[in-house]
Chains A and B, each alone.
Chain A
């Protein structure tokens, strides 16, 4: 999908107008950002916005996230078990220490599988 984020009042207003006029191309709206469908029309609308508002419009292409492809099992397990921890005040670093769960630094250094869009 195409994520369009606006950074000025004028750009935000145009985005609202575009969304109202092209609801069919809008996947989801968030205040000053919108997810457009990944179609030629979605791209056209996003590019029009950037043409009009330049640097006040950011366009990114998003991709579906499949945790069973993109991350290793230990990351999924760590997330699941950390959320089920007994003491809510335990920070993750402490929770992971001395276990098989990956440490925060290790997680930070890992990139996701699957292709990423430039």
Chain B
């Protein structure tokens, strides 16, 4: 038996119970929670203003813009935004990793040691010849060292060429990444402009809601901004939004749950702040 049944009312008062706002909100979202709640499934706005606490911070402008979208408003950026998002989705920059090539170049860097070995053997060979010793063994060793050196140089050149090719390929891959970043920045700017515009479209209902609600706050100059606590802006958003899942209120703005549900025009659960 749920302690809170959305089918049996819109206003619930849990202030006498040891349950916090987060726990109720979790139950509303159908996440593991210490209490059982039966209610409508929360929509996207619930994430923004589903919990109302005096000291919480809220992205009021974004929430207000979401209400505007809920009401079917479209921003003048929406077509371009969709196009930019399509472009981003279509981009698939190839991976860029030159680690293997760099490692290969570093691994072939033993020419100095080999050069030294060739020089040492040459000296030893000359001294052996001066002494009249049999130089065969030293001569063979020197020949091997010379061959090793030549091979090492060839390997080094091959590795360097391979790295140079990889670097040149990486340049194109990075162009694609740069383009993606440019589009992402464009997307973000458009989103910001759209939020601004959509929130601005609801300026009057937002102002009226702030005036009708308890607390001392008024609409700021910029759309969705509040002169006063953020939470009052969130309350105002709640009031003008269509919200079916119970909003959790943990402030002493309202005398009782019924008054809160009436003021917010939404199902409400009061909890102890």
Asked whether B173 is an interface residue with its Cβ less than 8 Å from the other chain, the reply is yes
Interface code A1-43, partner B: CB below 8 Å = 1, 0 otherwise? 0000001110010000000000000000000100000000000
Residues of B within 8 A of A12 (CB): 181
Interface size for chain B: under 10, 10 to 19, 20 to 34, or 35 or more residues?
Answer: 10 to 19
Complex contact A55–B96 (CB within 8 A): yes
Complex contact B105–A8 (CB within 8 A): no
Complex contact A55–B177 (CB within 8 A): yes
Asked whether B163 is an interface residue with its Cβ less than 8 Å from the other chain, the reply is yes
Asked whether B168 is an interface residue with its Cβ less than 8 Å from the other chain, the reply is no
Interface size of A by CB at 8 A reads 10
Cα separation A85 to B94 with both chains bound (whole Å): 45
Residues of A within 8 A of B97 (CB): 54-55
Whole-angstrom distance between the Cβ of B153 and the nearest chain A Cβ: 15
Whole-angstrom distance between the Cβ of B132 and the nearest chain A Cβ: 45
Q: A32-B181, A54-B97 are in contact. Are A7 and B163 (CB under 8 A)?
A: no
B interface: dominant SS: helix
Interface code B186-219, partner A: CB below 8 Å = 1, 0 otherwise? 0010000000000000000000000000000000
Q: 8 Å CB contacts to B: which residues of A46-76?
A: 54-56, 58
Asked whether A84 is an interface residue with its Cβ less than 8 Å from the other chain, the reply is no
Complex contact A118–B178 (CB within 8 A): no
Chain A residue nearest to B188 (CB atoms) is A9
Chain A residue nearest to B99 (CB atoms) is A50
Q: 8 Å CB contacts to A: which residues of B130-184?
A: 160, 163, 170, 173-174, 177-178, 180-181, 184
Whole-angstrom distance between the Cβ of B102 and the nearest chain A Cβ: 8
Complex contact A118–B173 (CB within 8 A): no
Most buried by B among A32, A56, A58, A118: A118
Whole-angstrom distance between the Cβ of A64 and the nearest chain B Cβ: 22
The one of B163, B177, B181 in contact with A118, judged by C-beta atoms closer than 8 angstroms, is B163
Residues of B within 8 A of A8 (CB): 177, 180-181, 184
Asked whether B18 is an interface residue with its Cβ less than 8 Å from the other chain, the reply is no
Whole-angstrom distance between the Cβ of B173 and the nearest chain A Cβ: 7
Cα separation A118 to B160 with both chains bound (whole Å): 8
Residues of B within 8 A of A32 (CB): 181
Cα separation A9 to B178 with both chains bound (whole Å): 10
Complex contact B160–A7 (CB within 8 A): no
Complex contact A55–B95 (CB within 8 A): yes
The one of B163, B174, B181 in contact with A58, judged by C-beta atoms closer than 8 angstroms, is B174
Residues of A within 8 A of B177 (CB): 7-8, 55-56
Complex contact A9–B184 (CB within 8 A): yes
Whole-angstrom distance between the Cβ of B159 and the nearest chain A Cβ: 9
Cα separation A12 to B188 with both chains bound (whole Å): 14
Cα separation A82 to B201 with both chains bound (whole Å): 57
Cα separation A118 to B164 with both chains bound (whole Å): 8
Which A residues are within 8 Å of any B CB, using their own CB?
Answer: 7-9, 12, 32, 54-56, 58, 118
Which B residues are within 8 Å of any A CB, using their own CB?
Answer: 93, 95-97, 102, 105, 160, 163, 170, 173-174, 177-178, 180-181, 184-185, 188
**12 other A-B residue contacts (CB within 8 Å) besides A7-B177, A56-B177, A118-B163:** A7-B174, A7-B180, A7-B181, A8-B184, A9-B181, A32-B181, A54-B95, A54-B96, A55-B174, A58-B96, A58-B174, A118-B105
